[in-house]
Chain A
Amino acid sequence: MNPIIEVKNLVKRYKKADENAVDGISFSVAEGEFFAFLGPNGAGKTTTISILTTTLAKTAGFVKIAGFELDKNEKEIRQSIGVIFQNPSLDKNLTGEENIRFHASLYGLHPFRPFYALMPDEYKKRVAELSRVVGIEKYIFKPIKSYSGGMKRKLEIVRGLMHNPRVLFLDEPTTGLDPLSRKNVWSYLQDVRKKENTTIFLTTHYLEEAESADHVCIINHGRIVAYGTPRDISHEKSLEDAYLEIITNEYARV
């Protein structure tokens, strides 16, 4: 099967930096896979995600997502992916529904309408259904200012899934969420993955979230230091212990 994400020798050096933030990494992700991209702070995870989601220019290398080459078909890639950013990217002056409507119109799902009442029934149903699933249906018409951190995250996930992306990028999506919210968010994401065969590309510091991944890729100093199924990597230990061991050994070597 053709991979849905293909990365070859990807390099990123920031302006005025002496070292590569991402230093020639290669990996691929199969369609429908749950892929966990792990590493300590500053390892190059967010840099990689920014390049794959077209918001940061790469220095060198080849990237292909959903059959489109990054160098040639940026727009098609944008249409095929959903992104949950590390920092919430909601407009605080709008309501939850207005943020969703903004997204839906921008992605060409429905013609733009200035009021909710004028939107097609199909849209209204979708918003009602998605917000019920993540448990924010009571707040969907309230301003973002009144949302808690967890509600903002859930709203962003609803928004990121509105256009049925083939790949969902999640950059530390559950940071700052209480255990119950985290559990709800994950059971919902896994549901979507099963139903829609959506590929999930995750970065996280909660290693237990990566236990159920199909493949785990660990990077440090912009290089891949481990790749495999969680079982391959952990050798009978917990993924967290294995991860700590790998990273510590890395530091010992340097």
Chain B
Amino acid sequence: MREFNAILTIAFRDLTKLIRDRIRILAGLVFPVIFIGVLGGSLSANIGKGLGFDFLTFVFTGVFAQVFFQSSAAGVISIIQDREEDFSQELFVAPVSRYSIVFGKILGETMVAAVQIAGIFIFGLILGVVFSIKIFLLLILAGLFASFLGGAFGVFVLANVGSQRTMAQIFPFVLFPQVFLSGVFAPVENFPPILAFLSKIAPLTYAVDLVRYAYYSGSPELSKVTAFGVTTDILVMLTLFFIFLFAGTILFVRKERNR
């Protein structure tokens, strides 16, 4: 009960901060417009014909997973900012489990991502992406998986990087290749062997695939836009989540204390 309370406390701090940060909300809403509308739109106009599925919808589902994953990962990494502002001391002397601190952070950033997702839904509706209530709920569920995985991935990256400066240099390199490898903009099934291999070790790939299963379930295009199967996706994501969470937390705590 104590730990649950701590998780909520830490999570809501992030949501409170988001609500006060209008620029960040705006950026969160504009980001998907750029990815889906500008990048997706231009690709769709040039190569989106004759695929057997609607390219913009395909990109919409990919970006949906990406935003959840990326937003959580980047958000969790803000622990580093807390440290540089000395707030992390308040967290680290608190009588709660280190896992609760990290998981609270992941949950908080998931709520933050959810606010941004509202922007994606609105934009998707404008583009004519339609779905039933059932699919909406499945999408949210798959999005939560993507977000938790992203957050745990963020902890793992965090545990291996020292300062905010290093992080700013490294983070794009661990994130952007994943975005292109994970099938946000092109089905992974047609990748050449090397890229296909790299794609399989990118955690985001399984999040994107799961979201596509949620959106396309029951539709004739399903086999063209998905790759691994729902069970595989969920199993891989859960496994990676726990590995990243536990290994990341242990490494992070050790790095903080064993100076």
List residues of chain A with CB under 8 Å of any chain B CB.
Answer: 14-15, 53-57, 75-76, 78-79, 81, 83, 85, 87-94, 98, 102-103, 105-108, 111-112, 114
Contact = CB atoms under 8 A, between A and B. Distances in A.
B95 A75 contact: yes
Nearest to B85: A92
Interface of B is mostly: helix
Given A55-B93, A102-B90, A108-B6, 9 more contacts: A75-B97, A81-B93, A102-B9, A102-B13, A105-B6, A105-B9, A106-B10, A107-B94, A112-B5
A90 B5 contact: no
B259 A103 contact: no
B184 to A, nearest CB: 31
27 contacts: A15-B258, A15-B259, A53-B93, A55-B93, A55-B256, A56-B259, A57-B259, A85-B89, A89-B87, A89-B88, A91-B13, A91-B17, A91-B85, A91-B87, A92-B85, A93-B21, A94-B17, A98-B16, A102-B13, A102-B90, A105-B6, A106-B6, A106-B94, A107-B94, A108-B95, A112-B9, A114-B16
Chain B: interface size category:
20 to 34
B12 interface: yes
B93 A54 contact: yes
Nearest to A93: B17
B100 to A, nearest CB: 9
A64 B222 CA distance: 62
Nearest to A76: B95
A56 B16 CA distance: 30
A93 B87 CA distance: 11
Interface of B: 2, 5-6, 8-10, 12-13, 16-17, 20-21, 82, 85-97, 256-259
B16 A106 contact: no
**A14, A56, A102: most-surrounded residue (chain B CB, <10 A):** A102
Nearest to B89: A89
Interface of A is mostly: loop
Nearest to A51: B257
A179 B97 CA distance: 40
Contact of B12 (A15, A90, A114): A114
A111 B20 CA distance: 24
Contacts of B97: 75
B149 to A, nearest CB: 25
A181 B16 CA distance: 31
Given A78-B94, A112-B5, A112-B8, A87 B86 contact: yes
A106 B9 contact: yes
Contacts of B95: 75-76, 78-79, 107-108
Nearest to A56: B257
A71 to B, nearest CB: 13
Contacts of B89: 55, 83, 85, 87, 89
Nearest to A94: B16
A106 B88 CA distance: 13
A78 B101 CA distance: 14
